[in-house]
């Protein structure tokens, strides 16, 4: 099973122009941590170290892990495993993210490897199929695995033999044939009973007889199991003329299985598999790629770098031979009846509580998803499907908070307005505002006192002179009180000192009383005279126990005091 067949397939796909209806990606190779989600650490470590030059030093491990006979050691073995498996993982991930409906990895589909053992030219099974299915199970409740390779898919069946979330269905040669498994009575155990389907076949099966058993079985599985995703392994060793195969399928008979599965419209991961006649393998996979993308491929081969491999006819076709078909009608009906009877015993499609399958690379995978979304954001058109992340990025969030001191801008973007009173640490306030401005504090005025314009002007000049002394008082409180919470004035933004009932009046408060008394006296004298202009009454607080902050006169620009000016409104504390 040489990698050269993958290059031939890729060359045909490119020269037929099928790439125009696909998106082609170079997948990231799988890491050791991802490989160890199914295989043992010791087995993966051995594959990463062994080379043709040092394989004699690993003689014991080669016997333990079945490496050396049908699974020889070659240069770049570990890199090949990582690249082959990375495509299946990436394809399953893109199906989950809704980036495609069908993902193809012709380099995958190695279905014989075990948890800690290589088998049947397969070194890693988890990366090609099992880990791809596990990736699908993160979003899908049920996954159907279909295997049309001539050999039984024993590795995949063993991995999911005890679960009902994955149904495995294999059509294969049974008897004295590798790997010797896949009997009709192998139906699973425990929770996975009746969720392993095996259809053993004999030599020489043709297109018509294969279709007569494949389509009814798959149709009943879709009806009873109702999978949410499909993984289709398209091993080409079931074609006629394969070096290790014994079936008599033509290229179109093999592709009929792919076309029938496609009709169900489920997310499908299509993988390669076996195939040991390279020219027939590349022909079949190129033709099936055209079936998957919905484009007919002509029989005449275009010229390519591997054109001479397809002689002497140079056509895109694999014809059946005249070998005898040992699958009698009675035999096939008997096997089909038993298989359908087992499917009816499943009763209903299993469902599970959907949870994220734990894996060590979840955070890394999310970062990779974000990077992919950013890279593809500029290339998405109106006719292409957007991912959930890309859709959310285009939705405006009206309640998000932004760092903005502009109240109008904050209201425009949906920021909640600030409360009337804010509390700020006095030390931080002192550092942020080196030159604080003071606010005046006044005692309650008599209700009969109505200040005139002259009284307002006198009071304003008194408050202006008091501001400097109040700044010194704030600095003294900051040094003595430490990190004392100070209630802020809602208009000026400056701290207002709390009044304490048990303490004596400070000199500042006495000075304020004098200023307020003078203003009240002048207001009483002006009451008997007829003023040239009506004066507005001052606002009086209901009680002295609930202080109200006074707006600082320093916040507004200074205006010359004239008789026409209105008196300053003073709130009592």
- Return the active site residues: 112
Hey, how many other C-beta atoms are within 10 angstroms of the C-beta on 500? 8
- Residue 384's alpha-carbon distances to 11, 94, 98, 268, in angstroms, are 27, 14, 11, 18
Token digits of residue 479: 């040094």
Cα–Cα distance measured from residue 142 to residue 140, given in angstroms and rounded to the nearest whole number = 6
**Cβ(157)–Cβ(130) under 8 Å?**
no
SS3 487: strand
Cα–Cα distance measured from residue 247 to residue 240, given in angstroms and rounded to the nearest whole number = 6
Token digits of residue 533: 């202009």
**Cβ(196)–Cβ(184) under 8 Å?**
no
Hey, how many other C-beta atoms are within 10 angstroms of the C-beta on 66? 17
**Cβ(284)–Cβ(247) under 8 Å?**
no
Token digits of residue 563: 């008789």
CA atoms within 13 A on the CB side of 41: 1
Cα–Cα distance measured from residue 285 to residue 265, given in angstroms and rounded to the nearest whole number = 20
- Residue 126's alpha-carbon distances to 43, 88, 110, 134, 155, in angstroms, are 12, 10, 9, 9, 9
- Reference 150, options 274, 335, 321; nearest CA is 274
- Residue 236's alpha-carbon distances to 283, 370, 431, in angstroms, are 10, 37, 78
Is the bond into 268 cis (omega within 30 degrees of 0)?
Answer: no
- Which residues in 414-506 belong to E strands, given as ranges? 423-425, 485-488, 495-496
**Cβ(128)–Cβ(84) under 8 Å?**
yes
């Amino acid at each position: 099973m040489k990698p050269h067949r993958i290059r031939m397939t890729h060359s045909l796909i490119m020269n037929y122009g099928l790439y125009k209806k696909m998106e082609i990606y170079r997948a990231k190779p799988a890491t050791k941590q991802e490989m160890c989600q199914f295989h043992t650490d010791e087995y993966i470590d051995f594959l990463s170290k062994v080379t043709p030059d040092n394989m004699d030093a690993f003689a014991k491990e080669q016997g333990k892990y079945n490496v050396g006979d049908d699974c020889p050691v070659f240069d770049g073995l570990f890199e090949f495993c990582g690249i082959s498996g990375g495509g299946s993982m990436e394809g399953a991930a893109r199906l989950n993210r809704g980036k495609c409906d069908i993902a193809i990895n012709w380099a995958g589909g190695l279905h014989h490897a075990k948890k800690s053992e290589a088998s049947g030219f397969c070194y890693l099974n988890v990366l090609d199929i099992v880990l791809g299915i596990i990736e699908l199970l993160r979003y899908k409740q049920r996954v159907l695995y279909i295997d049309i390779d001539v050999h039984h898919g024993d590795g995949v069946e063993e991995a999911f033999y005890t679960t009902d979330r994955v149904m495995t269905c294999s059509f294969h040669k049974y008897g004295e044939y590798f790997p010797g498994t896949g009997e009709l009575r192998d139906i699973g155990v425990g929770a996975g009973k009746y969720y392993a389907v095996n259809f053993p076949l004999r030599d020489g099966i043709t297109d018509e007889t294969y279709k007569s058993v494949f389509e009814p079985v798959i149709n009943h599985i879709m009806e009873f199991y109702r999978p949410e995703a499909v993984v289709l392994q398209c091993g080409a060793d079931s074609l006629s003329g394969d070096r290790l195969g014994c079936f008599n399928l033509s290229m179109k008979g093999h592709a009929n299985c792919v076309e029938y599965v496609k009709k169900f419209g489920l997310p499908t991961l299509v993988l390669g598999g076996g195939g040991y006649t390279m020219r027939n393998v590349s022909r079949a996979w190129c033709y099936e790629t055209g079936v998957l993308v919905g484009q007919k491929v002509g029989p005449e081969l275009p010229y390519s770098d591997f054109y001479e491999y397809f002689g002497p006819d140079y056509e895109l076709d694999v014809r059946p031979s005249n070998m005898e078909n040992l699958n009698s009608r009675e035999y096939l009906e008997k096997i089909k009846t038993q298989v359908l009877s087992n499917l009816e015993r499943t009763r209903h499609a299993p469902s599970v509580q959907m949870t994220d399958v734990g894996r060590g690379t979840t955070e890394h995978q999310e970062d990779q998803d974000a990077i992919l979304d950013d890279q593809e954001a500029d290339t998405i058109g109106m006719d292409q499907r957007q991912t959930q992340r890309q859709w959310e990025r285009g939705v405006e969030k009206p309640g998000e908070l932004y760092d903005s001191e502009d109240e109008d801008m904050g209201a425009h973007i949906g920021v909640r307005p600030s409360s009337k009173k804010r509390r700020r640490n006095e030390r931080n306030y002192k550092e942020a505002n080196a030159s604080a401005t003071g606010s005046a504090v006044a005692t309650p005025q008599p209700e009969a006192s109505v200040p005139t314009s002259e009284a307002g002007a006198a009071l304003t000049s008194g408050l202006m002179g008091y501001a400097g002394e109040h700044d010194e008082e704030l600095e003294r409180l900051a040094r003595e009180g430490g990190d004392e919470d100070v209630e802020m004035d809602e208009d000026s933004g400056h701290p207002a000192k709390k009044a304490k009932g048990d303490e004596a009046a400070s000199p500042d408060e006495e000075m304020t009383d004098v200023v307020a008394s003078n203003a009240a006296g002048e207001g009483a004298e002006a009451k008997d005279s007829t003023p040239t202009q009506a004066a507005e009454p001052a606002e009086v607080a209901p009680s002295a126990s609930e202080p109200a902050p006074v707006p600082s006169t320093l916040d507004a620009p200074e205006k010359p005091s004239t008789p026409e000016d209105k008196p300053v409104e003073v709130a009592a504390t």
